[in-house]
Structures are given as structure tokens and as C-alpha cells.
Amino acid sequence: MAASARGVLTGLAALALIAYGVVLADSHPADYYDDGLMHDGHTSHFFAWLAKERPSAVVGDHILLGSIAVISPETRVQNTVSADPCADAERASALLVIADNPTTTDAAFEARRSSARACGKAIYDDGVALVIAPPGVR
């Protein structure tokens, strides 16, 4: 086989592998976002849960809301707008989602978790992300 033909085939094979990688990454966005959501070395599975459950509305506290919109585009998403995320979620008839992030101390995260648990029933909790259904919301 001529060197130029070998070069063309190598280039085509590289392009095919790149295309396959893009398709594979696009087919598992929940895994990508879950890998980025960690606490004390524990990875969350919140985004896999979100992809399965697809709630109608969520209010997020310390979580990137765009990531929720990517995984569940039909979910209405809003950020907390007051010092009381539970009240924000109740007003919006939405689930409350809180998550750990690198800028939060462990004590602050645990205080937010405790406050959220007083808000309603925990419907998802993996130690990194917590989803609460305030009274009357599911």
C-alpha cells in the first residue's frame, strides 16, 4: 500500500474514533455531570436520578442549574432567591435540590442539609445531593 493511501486511511480512522468519542460522550451526559458532583471523594448519582425521574420543577441551592437543564430540559429550573430555599421551593411548587460544592465548608453543607430536611420529605439523598419534596409537591 502506498504511503499516501496509508496516510488517508489513518486520518479516516482517527476521524472515526473522534466521532465515536463525541457520540459516546453525548449519550452519557448524566455520568459526566455526576462525576463532577463530589463530596469527600464520593461521587453523586443525582444526575442519573434526574434523567430517570424528570421532575416538573426544581429550585436549586448550590448547584449549577444549567446542568439540570441539560439532563432534564423539560424541568422548570430556578435558583434560590431568598435566604430560605424551602420557602422558595414551596412558592414555586418545586422540589428543592441542594448539593455540595468546592466553595462550601462541611459545616455549612451539613447545616443546609439539616435545614432542607426540615422542609419536607427526602426523595433522593446520596450524601452529595439531596432532593426534598416540600409539603404538597411531588
Q: Which domain holds residue 58?
A: 32-133
For 108-137, write each residue's pLDDT tens digit.
888 988 999 999 999 999 999 999 999 888
Number of domains in the chain: 1
Confidence at residue 87, expressed as pLDDT on a 0 to 100 scale: 93
Question: Does residue 13 form part of some domain?
Answer: no
Question: Does residue 11 form part of some domain?
Answer: no
Q: Is 76 helix (H, G, I), strand (E, B) or coil?
A: strand
Distance CA 99, CA 135 (A): 20
Q: State the cell numbers at 100.
A: 455540595
**Residue 45 and residue 26 in contact, taking contact as beta carbons nearer than 8 Å:** no
pLDDT surpassing 80 at residue 40: no
Percentage of the chain beyond pLDDT 90 is 46
Question: Does residue 26 form part of some domain?
Answer: no
For 2-39, write each residue's pLDDT tens digit.
767 777 777 777 676 666 555 555 556 888 888 778 77
pLDDT surpassing 60 at residue 52: yes
